[in-house]
Amino acid sequence: MFIDERITSNPEVMGGKPCIRGIRITVGTIVGLIASGNSYKQILEAYPYLEEEDIIAALRYAAWRVQELEIPLTA
What residue spans define the domains of the chain?
A: 7-67
Mean of all residue pLDDT scores within the chain = 93
pLDDT at 71 over 70: yes
- Asked if residues 31 and 37 have their Cβ atoms less than 8 Å apart, the reply is no
**What is the number of helices (H) and of strands (E) in the chain?**
3, 2
Q: Is 57 helix (H, G, I), strand (E, B) or coil?
A: helix
**pLDDT value at position 50?**
97
**pLDDT value at position 72?**
79
Enter the pTM of the model.
Answer: 0.85
Q: Which of 1.10.10.10, 3.30.300.30, 1.20.20.10, 1.10.760.10 is the CATH number of 7-67?
A: 1.10.10.10
pLDDT in tens, 27-47: 999 999 999 999 999 999 999
pLDDT band at 69 (very low <50, low <70, confident <90, very high): confident
